[in-house]
Structure 1
Amino acid sequence: MRPARLSLATAVATVAALAAVTGCTEKGGGSDGDRVVGVTATDDTCEVSKKEFPAGHVELAIENKGSKVTEVYLLFPDDRVVTERENIGPGTKQRVTAEVKAGDYRIACKPGMRGKGIRQDVKATGGKTVARDPKLDGAVAAYRAYVQAQADETLPKAQAFAKAVEAGDVEAARKAYAPSRIGWERTEPVAESFGDIDPKVDVREDGLEDGQDPATDWTGWHRLEKALWQDGKIGGREKELAGRLITDLEDWRKRVGSAEITPTSMANGAKELLDEVATGKVTGEEERYSHTDLVDFKANVEGAEKSYALLKPVAGQNDPALVKDLDKRFAALNTLLDQYRPDATSYDFTSYDKVGKANRKELSDAVNALAEPLSRLAAAVVK
């Protein structure tokens, strides 16, 4: 879960209204080709180089000219996420490749990675489908099965956690907490693509939207985490929230089968999982009360590696050097993580508050070393 969770489902507004409030404007036609859309973000504008582009593979060429870290989303009209790129620092550029069918979409810039964002309506034109290597169709099918399996396996673990909370058993709930999150963390980009589920189950207190009251609006795992570790007690509100968590996770489990999954969304999702590690787990912000960050960290890496492994046969044909580098970087990061658990099959990781500053930097450096080549995976699978 990113530092400031975006509540996309509540962010619907007309482009005209957003333009009047935030100065969202359109640039003249770009020069990078029909399928490249330039996106220039500032602290109060979101400019796009074109509002129409051919269906198929589209590349967002993003530049952040503002003073705040930003995110850029390509959204369906109902706010489901096609693709995103977060943690785009001031003065930096990013490129992200997505696969889109003909239809209406929105591009959203999120200065400070909070709030409703600044939006542009855009359109993919033409009715042609994307020519795809059959191996990629197989990768998508296998990944869809993996995501469903993770959701199916998560629910009983979450139910065990919820039952402990409802029974008022603090120690049992603490023990069940981290295991209940593993499947979610492995496949989080798919859950986030729906827009409305993630803010219910995985938001941190500082990720609430302006105007939301933590006493009434904060729900999900981290609200219960705070009660269990900081407060050390379970009250009626926590028991109610445990039941609500299961309801929301059952909704997630039912909906993952209908998620929009493409080879590029798999590749971009792998990068998003590394971003989750960099901005939440390495810093210790994600599990600030339980200090179970390394469990989430490992699950994020496993999810990213699963997407990569399924896409690797095609990526290896198109960009052998990239695959060689990614193999090396994944191996190095996994070796480093293994130092913090008793064996390679255990999820009994060292409590993150016991990991020193130098070791945290070592982990951060390994994540960053992997994230850069991983950001090029989507482009490699569509060459």
Structure 2
Amino acid sequence: MRAARLSVVAAVATAAALTAVTGCTEKSDAKGDGAIQVTATDSKCDVSKKEFPAGHIELAIQNKGSKVTEVYILFPDDRIVTERENIGPGTRQTVTAEVKAGDYTIACKPGMKGKGIRQTVKATGGKVGKRDPRLDQAVAAYREYVQAQADETLPKVATFVKAVKDGDIDAAKAAYAPSRIGWERTEPVAESFGDIDPKVDVREDGLAEGQDPATDWTGWHRLEKALWQDKKITDREKELADQLTTDLKDWQERVGKAEITPTSMANGAKELLDEVATGKVTGEEERYSHTDLVDFKANVEGAQKSYDLLKTVAQENDAALVTELDQQFAALNTLLDKYRADKPNATQYDFTSYDKVGKDDRKKLSDAVNALAEPLSKLAAAVVK
């Protein structure tokens, strides 16, 4: 969960207008001059084309502003088609995505805050063709994976919630990080719905303008603060624990119906690395519990799952990229292993408390994340070559 999210609207829309492509499409002219040029500044979000063919599209993004920015493609109800964050001043990035005919919004978010500066665009036409069956298999396998993660999360959340409702602070602390692993592995899918993530994973500084933390802040991090900073469980925390269960059951029921495409899998893997870079490495995500490395590991696992499922096709299209990704995933996982907690009966998710990880070590982790994130940003394009 980033420091701030786009505000979102929960809406039910017709599949024809609002779903991402579920079959392979003819590419729009996504290379060179055919790419949609997005120029972001601190006050503008200029888009070179307001209308373009549906199918595989490419955004060629340039940040000419003074702030780090994010760029989103959004459905009309603010559900996320794809996104790219951590676009530094003076840098360029490309994003490959699949869109069906319909209306969309391209949003730039200077400082990665607020609703962003928006441009309405339209995807027209687009021929649905036959997708490589291996990509269909990858999508099907990933859909099973995200459903399994949700199914496995609910019992762990039940353990956490029971401890909160029993008033057992120590037991609740022990159950907190494990209850988040499945969510962190598949967070981009949950975020694509728009309305669930702000209920369960928002931090206090990520609340929408006008929201009151005393009444509007819900989810894991609100309970994290109560356990580690306030060191008390009141009736309000017990209510919030029940609400967390309700909201995550909603996620569990909906996640299997999420719109998933090969490019959304690839872009989601990059988004998970962005989550690490903007929240876990900085220590902002778990600022009270300091369990950031558990989230870190889960994000990397989720990114690697998407990559592994797409790897066969990517290998044929860009063997050098696959070699680099294999190396960088291995390097990052090896580095993470150095921070495992040294204690009896430790599990694979017992890591050093992040407040004990010094500045130099955090820099090493950040460098390893960046070394993986850069080639991972090219995976979507490799899949649809």
Matches within 5 A, 1:1-383: 1-9=1-9, 32-34=32-34, 36-341=35-340, 346-383=348-385
TM score, norm. by length of structure 1? 0.92
Partner of 1:115, secondary structure, is: coil
Deviations 1:252-288 (A, max 9, x none): 1111111111100000000000010011111111101
Q: Which amino acid aligns with 1:303?
A: G
Q: 1:314 & 1:133 partners in 2: Cα distance?
A: 9
Where does structure 1 lack aligned partners over 5 or more consecutive residues? 12-29
- 8 A contact 1:37–1:50 mirrored in 2: yes
Q: 1:6 & 1:166 partners in 2: Cα distance?
A: 32
Give the superposition deviation at 1:9: 2.5
- 8 A contact 2:10–2:77 mirrored in 1: no
Give the superposition deviation at 1:31: 9.6
Give the superposition deviation at 1:362: 1.0
- 8 A contact 1:101–1:129 mirrored in 2: no
TM score, norm. by length of structure 2? 0.91
Give the superposition deviation at 1:210: 2.2
Give the superposition deviation at 1:176: 0.5
Partner of 2:115, secondary structure, is: coil
Q: 1:226 & 1:362 partners in 2: Cα distance?
A: 28
Deviations 1:11-52 (A, max 9, x none): 9xxxxxxxxxxxxxxxxxx99444x21111112221110111
Moved more, 38-47 or 184-193: 38-47
Q: 1:32 & 1:320 partners in 2: Cα distance?
A: 22
**How many residue pairs are counted as aligned between the two chains?**
364
Q: 2:130 & 2:118 partners in 1: Cα distance?
A: 30
Stretches of 4+ moved more than 6 A in 1?
Answer: none
- 8 A contact 2:55–2:126 mirrored in 1: no
Moved more, 348-357 or 110-119: 110-119
Partner of 1:47, secondary structure, is: strand
Q: 1:305 to 1:120 in 2, by over 3 A?
A: same
Q: 1:195 & 1:223 partners in 2: Cα distance?
A: 19
Q: 1:270 & 1:320 partners in 2: Cα distance?
A: 18
Q: 1:85 & 1:152 partners in 2: Cα distance?
A: 28
Q: 1:198 to 1:121 in 2, by over 3 A?
A: same
- 8 A contact 1:185–1:303 mirrored in 2: yes
Give the superposition deviation at 1:344: 9.7
Q: 1:90 & 1:4 partners in 2: Cα distance?
A: 19
Q: 1:235 & 1:344 partners in 2: Cα distance?
A: 31
Q: 2:248 & 2:97 partners in 1: Cα distance?
A: 27
Partner of 1:258, secondary structure, is: coil
Identity of aligned residues (%): 81
Q: 1:53 to 1:156 in 2, by over 3 A?
A: same
Moved more, 182-191 or 209-218: 209-218
In the alignment, which residue of structure 2 is the partner of 1:20? none
- 8 A contact 2:8–2:77 mirrored in 1: no
Moved more, 88-97 or 268-277: 88-97
Q: 1:337 & 1:313 partners in 2: Cα distance?
A: 26
